Amino acid sequence: MSTTTTQKNIPHWQQIVQDKHLDVSVVDSNLLDKELRFESEYFRPSFLDVEEKLKAKNSKSYKQYIKEVRCGPFGSTILHNTYKDSGVLVTRPFNIRNGTIEGENHAFISEEDCLRKNLKFYDKNDIFFARVGAVSCGLVPQFDYKITISPNIIAVRTDGNKLSPEYSSIFFNTIYGESQLLRAQKVVAQPTISTGLIQNILVSIPSKPFQERIAKLVQEAHRERETSKKLYQEAEDLLLSELGMKDWQPTEKNTAIKDSEEVQLYGRADAEFFQPKYDELFEKLEKTASKKLGKIVIYLKGIEPGSNAYAEDGVPFVRVSDVSIHGIENVEKKISAELFEKYKNSYSPKKGEVLFTKDGTIGISFVVDEDLDVVLSGAFLRLIPQGDIEPEYLALVLNSVVCKLQIERVAGGAIIAHLKPSDAMNLQIPILDLRIQKQIVEKIKTSHMARENSKTLLENAKKAVEIFVEKDEKAAEKFLQE
């Protein structure tokens, strides 16, 4: 006797998708052949939605507007041990922030080294893309020195007669640019972008007047950024002038004679610890009232929950790579809301605290200007000032050569850069008159305001470009006029 299998009780796949709340894309096989990409991530619904909107806008391939595109040099061309304190600036992926190239924490190599290795110099309005790691794109501003790129950067020079470089840099920082860059990444050992993938990205092209409107916003933002840098430099110059260190250059002598008592006092016998430049520094600090950091702050630590605690959505988990002397920016990692509830009372920074990095890039310091719903990694110390010391003044001292040399002295030679909290608390902090501190603080606060103005201008430009893609130029102009 034969039997028949019925299919009527098996749900259709679309019903399963609906019941399970799954993200599913249905893609024509011809498109698979065309793209030569088969992984499901490439056809994520959000990526396809962006592509559909851009094609509806009659967008063009970026390669039509490129005059030149090139990758950074081969990986071993620029070595860490060839870095200098000045010379030709080497841009690395973490230097691309807020749609521009940040001037802090840069590395330099000599111009002779660049010429010997046939490295290319780049100009204002060239566009840099990070090849690896987090998606980022920045427009090169005007620098006072020559600039080149590390192996993990792609540099693009657009034809300004066809497409404004300011407009294209803003486009790549919108959801429509970032989404395509994220989609273009090929995952091997780590996500990587190639020059070919960048050239094939779609760009929505508005009228020349609208491009010029966006360009003016970008140029104004860069002027505000320069004002911010100038004011911060003035604050640091005032500090160093008061300490008699404005034009001080540490000695390059590399020999010193120390007695056994001093060696025993510090528990160090390595030559690097007793370099003459450190003696010079402390001689200058002796002329001003100073206190150890541990005498003027209470400190708290961050936490390391482990990489398995990272979540797709949730609360920012702040690491050293997410901060600069100006604050927290572009946080990559998140932890769940549930984990945040567990950690927030102990590991979330509060208004008035000075955050200080003790691992990786040691000594980056800035003031928290409001209570933050974030969790700090174990690489941070939260410093709570006590007594007559302004938080912004303390952060500036920690960022200055005054503390950089002290940190270099105790942390130098380690394979992995690390500063013990006990060593941090022994840093000598010069305590200037409160009147001078307040003058310094005023410059720093004005500097931060200019920087925030710059970020706002760039955000407005991004939003206007997104409105242009989603609607039209008229709606985008209306937004900018509000």
Determine the length of the chain. Answer: 482
Of 176, 204, 232, the residue at which a domain comes to its end is: 204
- Tell me: pLDDT of 122 over 50: yes
What is the mean predicted confidence (pLDDT) over 49-68?
A: 92
- Give residue 461's Cα distance to chain centre: 20
* C-alpha closest to that of 125 among 99, 103, 104, 145: 99
Read off the amino acid at residue 282: F
Q: What per-residue confidence (pLDDT) applies to 321?
A: 86
Model confidence at 233, pLDDT cuts 50, 70, 90, reads very high
Residues 330 and 418 placed together within one structural domain of the fold: yes
Better-scored residue on pLDDT, 481 or 194: 481
Residues 192 and 226 placed together within one structural domain of the fold: no
Q: pTM here?
A: 0.83
- Tell me: pLDDT of 130 over 60: yes
Residues 225 and 334 placed together within one structural domain of the fold: no
Residues 200 and 212 placed together within one structural domain of the fold: no
What is the mean predicted confidence (pLDDT) over 107-127?
A: 91
* C-alpha closest to that of 96 among 364, 325, 320, 330: 330
429 — phi, psi (to 5°)? Answer: -110, 115
Residue 35 domain-assigned?
no
Burial of 425 (0-12, 13-18, 19+ CB in 10 A): middle
User: DSSP assignment, residue 119?
Assistant: P
Residue 48 domain-assigned?
no
Structural domain containing residue 192: 62-204
Residues 190 and 134 placed together within one structural domain of the fold: yes
pLDDT digits (tens, 9 = 90+) for 160-191: 999 999 999 999 999 999 999 988 877 665 67
Looking at the chain, the whole-number percentage of residues with pLDDT higher than 90 is 61
Residue 377 domain-assigned?
yes
- Tell me: pLDDT of 4 over 70: no
Helix (H) or strand (E) holding 367: strand 365-367
Q: Give the CATH number for residue 386.
A: 3.90.220.20
What is the mean predicted confidence (pLDDT) over 96-108?
A: 81
Residue 1 domain-assigned?
no
Of 388, 403, 431, the residue at which a domain comes to its end is: 431
Residue 15 domain-assigned?
no
Q: Are 334 and 313 in contact (CB under 8 A)?
A: yes
Residues 355 and 383 placed together within one structural domain of the fold: yes
Residues 69 and 188 placed together within one structural domain of the fold: yes
Separation between Cα atoms, residue 87 and residue 112, nearest integer Å: 9
Residue 427 domain-assigned?
yes
- Tell me: pLDDT of 33 over 50: no
Residue 10 domain-assigned?
no
User: Where do the H-state alpha helices sit in 297-350?
Assistant: 337-347
Residues 131 and 175 placed together within one structural domain of the fold: yes
Burial of 135 (0-12, 13-18, 19+ CB in 10 A): buried
Residue 270 domain-assigned?
no
- Tell me: pLDDT of 72 over 60: yes
Of 149, 184, 204, the residue at which a domain comes to its end is: 204
Q: Determine how β-strand 147-149 pairs with β-strand 88-91.
A: parallel
Model confidence at 388, pLDDT cuts 50, 70, 90, reads confident
When divided into structural domains, the chain yields a total of: 3
Residues 101 and 170 placed together within one structural domain of the fold: yes
Q: What per-residue confidence (pLDDT) applies to 104?
A: 65
The sign one gets for the Cα dihedral 200, 204, 210, 213 is negative
What is the mean predicted confidence (pLDDT) over 400-425?
A: 85
pLDDT digits (tens, 9 = 90+) for 83-95: 877 889 899 888 8
What is the mean predicted confidence (pLDDT) over 290-306?
A: 95
**Strand ranges inside 37-115, DSSP E:** 60-61, 66-71, 88-91, 96-97, 100-101, 107-109
